[in-house]
Structure 1
Amino acid sequence: MSEGYSMWAEIALSRLTANFQSLNRAAGPDEVLAVAKANAYGHGVLACAPALMAAGARWLGVTSVEEALAVRAVCPTARVLVMAGPWRGEAAAMVEHGLTPSVWEPFHLEELGREARRQGLAKGSVPVHLEVDTGMARQGVRGLAALGERLAQLESTPALRIEGVMTHFSSPDELDSPETELQLSVLAEALKAIGARGHRPELVSAGNSATLVSGLGVERLRSLAHLHGARLMLRPGLALYGYPVRFMPEQVAQPELLPVLSWKARVLSLRTLEPGEPSGYNATFRAARPTRLALLRVGYADGLSRLLSNRGQVLVRGQRAPIAGRISMDQTMVDVTEIPGVEIGDEAILIGQQGEERITAYELADLSGTIPYEVLCGISARVPRVVVE
């Protein structure tokens, strides 16, 4: 299937399915929202979203209405949560396509309310997830006074119904940290205020992959949800795509997770440099000996960070080949001097496994001073996604 490509990403949907099912089992009685935003973390949402639904997911999380409509086209029965809220003019599309918005700004409720009145919708027919800013200072209602104002807005539009209350933790992998303790107390106060006005949310949505995998604080979150007659919803993202949570306590037994994406390129050309000859822009690499270089058709326009120049490696014939010189927009050279028999057409692995060697998004992130989320989401749209398995 990949023979016609000089560079591509393979997406193993059977691994995605297995990862979701492992995480769903780990969640036990809790609801799981599968985060599929940012083109399913760079994996290709049009393939991944239906696979997640087939694996048993009921909820999918995206950022925008645009992402939600793309998901709705391939997953007509999914509950789709638009996690960054609606923008102006999007209420009609949200209602028409049965999308669930997170809300916190007055204009979110104004526009949804106006659309509900225009359509004459029945009481409670438009579910929303009210986001509370518990300390991340990014999105959500901030403070009990503002929360009271939003609740009054909601109550003036009977068609709108608080189905869920959600928040984002600033340190989700440190649920015993002082910051998280403070956020949990703010969330508890918000839920108390919401309940005092007669609202009965069905879901309390908090925690990501680290929360689910580690189990740190889950019982406390679950008890908080149950106190208000709700279920806990957990929102795994990176773990879905096969990346375990780093820096977990040794006693935490993480579910087995398999990377879903492999990024590959073919050797397009080979040449030998004599000692002292340069390679690439600004001659940042010079051969210290007779050096055999292989050309790959992949560069920073494809998402291979320029920060990996002269630092990163790829796998060729099961061995590591260092990147030689600066990564350019469309091409990268690698040193295959120590790898016998390399030929034009050989596969080079940028992310994935070949033989006993493996390169992960964590490795690329560490070398370029970022996080694996950015590495995966940064694989550009011009990289063909090829579904395998």
Structure 2
Amino acid sequence: MVKHSSRIELNQIAYKGNINFIRKKIGEKPILSSVVKANAYGHGIEVFVPMAEKCGINHFCVASSYEAEQVLSVCRPDSHILIMGIIYEEDLGWAISNGIAFFVYNFNRLAKVLEAAKKVDKKAKVHLEVETGANRTGMQANEFPKALSYLKQHQDWLIFEGLCTHFGGAESISNQFKIDQQHKRYKAFLKICKERKFLPEIRHIACSAAALAMEDTVYDMVRIGVAQYGFWPSPDIYYAHLHQTNKKSDATMKRIFNWKTDIMDIRTVDQGEFIGYGTAFQATQEMKIAVIPLGYSNGYPRALSNRGQVLIHGKKAPIVGLINMNLFMVDITHIREVAVGDEVVLIGRQKNNVINVSSFTNATQLLNNEMLSRLPAAIPRTVVK
């Protein structure tokens, strides 16, 4: 197999530590569902899912039937998959026949689900997503009673597996009034279920932020995305945790992701010469530069031109010039005995130095999720201990 220009390593031990920390926060009873949408937040579904299963995870949330198929191709037979987003009508039968659950967020979809279930001769696992204030997807309050009646009437084919909603901004303390309002509205939907003596098997509303900071939002399942990958959803959630635990700091959650490449070439540049496209960087002295074989087409943000750094021999090497589509250059004048083929760390640790994802996001104004999920699926991912 030919070699890719970069590689991603996922740390199994760090991930286990993250799961243990989250489990301690939510308790033993709730299902911990691993959210692996956006190619497992850039970590790679095919590699990450078996890695998660080794840590006791057997439930996965995705954003589409396409992602569900990816998970299904690598997960154990006893693992569960839940589609939170788009599932086309023509894919309903496929999902039902494979035991894949999915959100239903409008009443009219239920008839199509019933039809598909009968066609494949298997019960459909339905999670009613209700509108509580995020105003993205979610069944409106006026449709909910008839949806319940429909599910109850067709229990031979439709399983009322879940009742859920999505918080719009739980990571920010400034949104707390909105989250409280959403939770109150969710309880009103639950009350209707109780009054009709028709309850879902699984109640779930908590994302990473809510699960870590709002104990009352933890019901039968939590949907954990960014936290399992070692990132606090926001500074607000981190400080809320410190307040709850009476700690001054907590480094329990660790990044599981390391991104590496190798030096492609080394060049000497004379004083006064420009490096790369245009005139963005001019050498003020004779310089030694290393050419790095990836660029913005590989997910490395162009906004880090003349701003970012990489690690070589454990030392920080600043980017000089513009980041190209598939190349960029770094200054190695201050680093001794560098050779072509030497390891370059783009994100991660090398000796005593670290480059965090925040080094990217602070400079580029990208969210952690946004930066990671943009990484091409073609970059090979491997699990290391």
Q: How high is the TM-score relative to the length of structure 1?
A: 0.90
State the 1:302 CA deviation: 0.6
Aligned with 1:66: secondary structure? helix
Cα distance in 1 for partners of 2:104, 2:342 equals 50
State the 1:160 CA deviation: 1.1
**Equivalent residue for 1:95?**
96
**Equivalent residue for 1:251?**
243
2:345 aligned with 1:345: no
CA contact 2:8–2:260 (8 Å) conserved in 1: yes
Classify 1:255/1:113 alpha carbon distance in 2 versus 1 (closer, same or farther; 3 Å). farther
**Equivalent residue for 1:157?**
154
**Equivalent residue for 2:299?**
303
**Aligned 1:86-125 pairs, distance under 5 A:** 86-121=87-122, 125=123
CA contact 1:104–1:139 (8 Å) conserved in 2: yes
2:131 to 118, 130, 133: 133
Classify 1:107/1:280 alpha carbon distance in 2 versus 1 (closer, same or farther; 3 Å). farther
1:148 to 145, 148, 152: 145
Q: How high is the TM-score relative to the length of structure 2?
A: 0.91
Aligned with 2:192: secondary structure? helix
Classify 1:255/1:105 alpha carbon distance in 2 versus 1 (closer, same or farther; 3 Å). farther
RMSD of Structure 2 on Structure 1 (CA): 2.1
**Equivalent residue for 1:227?**
none
Cα distance in 2 for partners of 1:59, 1:291 equals 53
CA contact 2:8–2:380 (8 Å) conserved in 1: yes
**Aligned 1:265-304 pairs, distance under 5 A:** 265-304=261-300
**Equivalent residue for 1:65?**
65
CA contact 2:289–2:329 (8 Å) conserved in 1: yes
**Which residues of structure 2 form unaligned runs of 5+?**
none
CA contact 1:278–1:285 (8 Å) conserved in 2: yes
CA contact 2:93–2:119 (8 Å) conserved in 1: no
Aligned with 1:282: secondary structure? coil
Classify 1:327/1:255 alpha carbon distance in 2 versus 1 (closer, same or farther; 3 Å). closer
Cα distance in 1 for partners of 2:367, 2:25 equals 25
Cα distance in 2 for partners of 1:197, 1:281 equals 68
State the 1:156 CA deviation: 4.3
CA contact 1:85–1:103 (8 Å) conserved in 2: no
State the 1:120 CA deviation: 4.5
**Equivalent residue for 1:232?**
220
Classify 1:108/1:362 alpha carbon distance in 2 versus 1 (closer, same or farther; 3 Å). farther
**Aligned sequence identity (%):** 30
State the 1:50 CA deviation: 1.6
**Aligned 1:33-72 pairs, distance under 5 A:** 33-72=33-72
Cα distance in 1 for partners of 2:310, 2:108 equals 49
Cα distance in 2 for partners of 1:255, 1:358 equals 15
Cα distance in 2 for partners of 1:363, 1:22 equals 25
Classify 1:3/1:313 alpha carbon distance in 2 versus 1 (closer, same or farther; 3 Å). farther
Cα distance in 2 for partners of 1:151, 1:85 equals 22
Classify 1:328/1:96 alpha carbon distance in 2 versus 1 (closer, same or farther; 3 Å). same
Q: Name the stretch that deviates more: 13-22 or 129-138.
A: 13-22
Q: What code does the residue aligned with 2:169 have?
A: S
**Which residues of structure 1 form unaligned runs of 5+?**
223-230
User: For residues 263-306 of structure 1, what are the alpha-carbon distances to aligned partners after superposition, in whole Å with 9 as ceiling and x for unaligned?
Assistant: 11111111122222111122211111112111001111110011
Classify 1:3/1:27 alpha carbon distance in 2 versus 1 (closer, same or farther; 3 Å). farther
State the 1:255 CA deviation: 7.0
User: For residues 8-65 of structure 1, what are the alpha-carbon distances to aligned partners after superposition, in whole Å with 9 as ceiling and x for unaligned?
Assistant: 1112233323322332232203221111122111111112112212211131111111
**Aligned 1:157-176 pairs, distance under 5 A:** 157-158=154-155, 159-174=157-172
Cα distance in 2 for partners of 1:268, 1:58 equals 41
Cα distance in 2 for partners of 1:66, 1:385 equals 20
**Equivalent residue for 1:332?**
328
User: For residues 222-244 of structure 1, what are the alpha-carbon distances to aligned partners after superposition, in whole Å with 9 as ceiling and x for unaligned?
Assistant: 4xxxxxxxx43111111211223
CA contact 2:172–2:234 (8 Å) conserved in 1: no
Cα distance in 2 for partners of 1:252, 1:278 equals 53
Cα distance in 2 for partners of 1:193, 1:174 equals 30
